[in-house]
């Protein structure tokens, strides 16, 4: 049988079509790999064995009949536990959804199923996606495949670790303030946050609805693009979705702006190798963006998480009155960070504080969007390091505010709804851990961001480095 380690989507597809490997063998390869290595990585919350094999057998039957198969047909993938998967447990890494088995799937899960992709595991994350290290999971701590004493990042830490450890060819994540890009950067994989509205959120556990985006974590920008094309588009079940638009600005001559203050950063070497004529641009203030983010997002969280009341689904604490049922359930089954964000959000939306916090932060959001518009007059994309440094050690950011500050380079694109990708672009000298380059595009110009990422990856091999498990 052909070597199966770290296949790209196209490589796996070619192996299937040329019958060098069957879809069943491919699924079995990933299941074996998870069985062999996941006790060290702890990326998976639920492994779908029997049904994944069943789905693969159908693909094999199709190939045996001589029928054509699509590019994603028979391709095994993992999904963050935020995605509802019919008949497959979905917990959002929270105790409050411990025994929750959704009766239907998210639109994106259905779309991937129609395209023939095979879900093999649900993976770990920070509880309700609140965090930047996956340490806030109520179930387990996921290790960074490059150094098991370090975090994989978060909140889509399980997704990034699963791609880096080859537990599937790609993974689905969610990104509210950097939750796809930061773990992608920490684990040396490619992670794309599309333009807000590009991908339906129907059937995905909500965090902050005016920010949440869904996107792929993958081996390369090429694979990320294949997945995005399969999951994007208008959805009648999500009225915030925007029409498809996949035209890149194909002038061939992209103007790349490096964010002021980061021109000497090591990850910029990957940019300069391909784009010798970069300009320097002023990025909207990171501190201001972060402050506005940590008012608006907890506010939306406190509203979205009202549904976890112990009544219709999820865990319920024993209590004699209805009000005690609410308060006890939410005390017993929410983790500390979820409580903290609920408290901040409830406070900033409460009588007397709304204008000073929520309303003010919404105005700051406008200011930040205008600053981006100004920056994009001088360039087509803005590049920054994805994070200020490599993956940190477990427990290193125990203070909540220090953890929040991890998001300083990523939250701005969520505030403005812009597409942004993180691609591997070097290693930290001291820790030998991967570093990521972030490419931010104009609203709607996902294709441009992907095009530039592909051009850089065509001229470098950072995305082909693998950790020793």
Residues annotated as catalytic are 80, 155, 179
User: What is the side-by-side order of every strand in the sheet holding 434-441?
Assistant: 44-47, 118-123, 76-80, 170-175, 213-218, 190-193, 420-427, 434-441, 381-385, 256-259, 279-281
Single residue of 291, 394, 431, 469 touching another protein by CB under 8 A: 291
User: Is there a contact between 158 and 44 (Cβ–Cβ < 8 Å)?
Assistant: yes
Give how far Cα 426 sits from Cα of 183, 265, 433, 441, Å: 15, 10, 9, 21
Minimal distance, residue 204 CB to another protein, in Å:
17
Considering the rule CB under 8 A, would residue 128 count as an interface residue with another protein? no
Minimal distance, residue 344 CB to another protein, in Å:
6
Burial of 75 (C-beta count, 10 Å sphere; 0-12/13-18/19+) = buried
Long-range contacts of 374-379 (CB under 8 A, 24+ apart): 374/282, 375/257, 375/281, 375/282, 375/283, 375/284, 376/442, 378/255, 378/257, 378/279, 378/281, 379/255, 379/256, 379/257, 379/279, 379/281
Instruction: Return the number of the residue (176 or 443) whose C-beta is nearest another protein.
Output: 443
What's the DSSP call for residue 285?
A: P
Q: Which stretch binds another protein (CB under 8 A): 56-64, 105-113, 386-394, 400-408?
A: 400-408
Instruction: Return the number of the residue (208 or 379) whose C-beta is nearest another protein.
Output: 208
Instruction: Return the number of the residue (336 or 395) whose C-beta is nearest another protein.
Output: 336
Instruction: Return the number of the residue (100 or 394) whose C-beta is nearest another protein.
Output: 100
Give me 391's structure tokens: 């993956």
Give me 92's structure tokens: 């959002």
442 C-beta neighbours (distance < 10 Å), count: 21
User: Is there a contact between 383 and 439 (Cβ–Cβ < 8 Å)?
Assistant: yes
User: Is there a contact between 388 and 408 (Cβ–Cβ < 8 Å)?
Assistant: yes
Single residue of 6, 139, 347, 394 touching another protein by CB under 8 A: 347
Minimal distance, residue 368 CB to another protein, in Å:
9
Q: Which stretch binds another protein (CB under 8 A): 180-188, 273-281, 332-340, 457-465?
A: 332-340
User: Is there a contact between 308 and 330 (Cβ–Cβ < 8 Å)?
Assistant: yes
Of the candidates 121, 130, 152, 98, the one whose C-alpha atom is nearest the C-alpha of residue 44 is 121
Instruction: Return the number of the residue (146 or 293) whose C-beta is nearest another protein.
Output: 293
Single residue of 57, 115, 309, 431 touching another protein by CB under 8 A: 309
Considering the rule CB under 8 A, would residue 330 count as an interface residue with another protein? yes
Instruction: Return the number of the residue (6 or 347) whose C-beta is nearest another protein.
Output: 347
Q: Which stretch binds another protein (CB under 8 A): 49-57, 353-361, 376-384, 454-462?
A: 353-361
State which of positions 163-192 bind another protein (CB under 8 A). Answer: none
Considering the rule CB under 8 A, would residue 197 count as an interface residue with another protein? yes
Minimal distance, residue 160 CB to another protein, in Å:
26
State the sign of the Cα–Cα–Cα–Cα dihedral 358, 363, 364, 365.
positive
- What DSSP line would sit under 85-143, residue for residue? BTTB---TT-GGGTT---SS--HHHHHHHHTT-EEEEEE--SGGG--SSSTT-SS-PPP
Considering the rule CB under 8 A, would residue 302 count as an interface residue with another protein? yes
State which of positions 95-124 bind another protein (CB under 8 A). Answer: 99-104
State which of positions 69-98 bind another protein (CB under 8 A). Answer: none
Give how far Cα 191 sits from Cα of 2, 64, 180, 420, Å: 27, 34, 6, 9
Number of residues that bind another protein (CB under 8 A): 71
State which of positions 10-39 bind another protein (CB under 8 A). Answer: none
What's the DSSP call for residue 152?
A: -
Single residue of 53, 140, 400, 431 touching another protein by CB under 8 A: 400
Single residue of 319, 389, 396, 455 touching another protein by CB under 8 A: 319
Considering the rule CB under 8 A, would residue 398 count as an interface residue with another protein? no
Task: Report how far residue 212's alpha carbon sits from residue 196's, in angstroms, rounded to the nearest whole number.
Answer: 7
Q: Which stretch binds another protein (CB under 8 A): 61-69, 183-191, 330-338, 447-455?
A: 330-338
- List the x/- string, 358-387, binding to another protein by CB under 8 A: -xxxxxxxxx-xx-----------------
Compute the radius of gyration of the chain from its Cα atoms: 21
Considering the rule CB under 8 A, would residue 240 count as an interface residue with another protein? yes
Minimal distance, residue 330 CB to another protein, in Å:
5
Minimal distance, residue 11 CB to another protein, in Å:
36
Single residue of 315, 381, 433, 453 touching another protein by CB under 8 A: 315
Q: Which stretch binds another protein (CB under 8 A): 171-179, 266-274, 349-357, 433-441?
A: 349-357
Minimal distance, residue 236 CB to another protein, in Å:
5
Single residue of 254, 357, 392, 427 touching another protein by CB under 8 A: 357
Burial of 251 (C-beta count, 10 Å sphere; 0-12/13-18/19+) = exposed
Considering the rule CB under 8 A, would residue 334 count as an interface residue with another protein? yes
425: left (phi over 0), alpha (psi -120 to 50) or beta: alpha
Minimal distance, residue 246 CB to another protein, in Å:
17
């Amino acid at each position: 049988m052909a070597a199966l380690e770290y296949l790209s989507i196209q490589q796996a597809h070619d192996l299937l079509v040329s019958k060098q490997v069957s879809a069943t063998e491919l699924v079995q390869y990933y299941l074996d790999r998870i069985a062999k290595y996941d006790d060290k990585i702890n990326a998976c919350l639920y492994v779908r064995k029997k049904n994944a094999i069943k789905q693969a057998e159908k693909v094999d039957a199709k190939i045996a009949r001589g029928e054509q198969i699509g590019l994603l047909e028979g391709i095994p993938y993992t999904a963050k536990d935020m995605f509802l998967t019919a008949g497959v447990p979905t917990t959002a890494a929270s105790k409050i959804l411990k025994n929750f088995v959704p009766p239907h799937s998210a639109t994106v899960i259905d779309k991937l199923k129609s395209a023939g992709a095979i879900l093999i595991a649900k993976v770990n994350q920070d509880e309700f996606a609140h965090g930047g290290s996956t340490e806030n999971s109520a179930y387990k701590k996921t290790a960074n495949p490059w150094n098991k004493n370090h975090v994989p990042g978060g909140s889509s830490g399980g997704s990034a670790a699963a791609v880096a450890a080859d537990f599937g060819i790609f993974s689905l994540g969610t990104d509210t303030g950097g939750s796809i890009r930061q773990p992608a950067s920490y684990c040396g994989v490619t992670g794309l946050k599309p333009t807000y509205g590009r991908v339906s959120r129907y059937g995905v556990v909500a965090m902050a609805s005016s920010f949440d985006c869904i996107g792929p974590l993958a081996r390369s920008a090429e694979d990320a693009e294949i997945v995005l094309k399969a999951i994007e588009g208008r959805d009648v079940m999500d009225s915030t979705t925007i029409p498809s638009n996949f035209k890149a600005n194909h002038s061939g001559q992209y103007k790349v702006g490096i964010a002021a203050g980061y021109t000497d950063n090591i990850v910029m070497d990957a940019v300069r190798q391909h784009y010798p004529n970069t300009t320097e641009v002023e990025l909207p203030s990171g501190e201001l963006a972060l402050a506005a983010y940590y008012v608006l997002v907890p506010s939306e969280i406190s509203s979205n998480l009202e549904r976890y009341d112990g009544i219709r689904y999820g865990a319920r604490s024993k209590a004699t009155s209805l009000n005690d049922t609410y308060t006890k359930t939410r005390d017993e089954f929410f983790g500390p960070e979820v409580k903290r964000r609920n408290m901040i959000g409830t406070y900033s939306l409460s009588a007397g504080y709304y204008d000073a916090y929520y309303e003010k932060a919404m105005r700051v959001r406008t200011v930040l969007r205008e600053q981006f518009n100004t920056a994009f007059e001088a360039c087509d994309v803005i590049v920054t390091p994805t994070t200020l440094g490599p993956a940190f050690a477990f427990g290193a950011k125990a203070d909540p505010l220090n953890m929040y500050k991890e998001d300083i380079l990523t939250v701005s694109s969520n505030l403005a709804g812009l597409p942004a990708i993180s691609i591997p672009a070097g290693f930290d000298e001291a820790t030998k851990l991967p570093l990521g380059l972030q490419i931010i595009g104009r609203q709607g110009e996902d294709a441009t961001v992907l095009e530039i990422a592909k051009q850089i990856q065509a001229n470098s091999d950072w995305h082909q480095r693998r950790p020793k498990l």
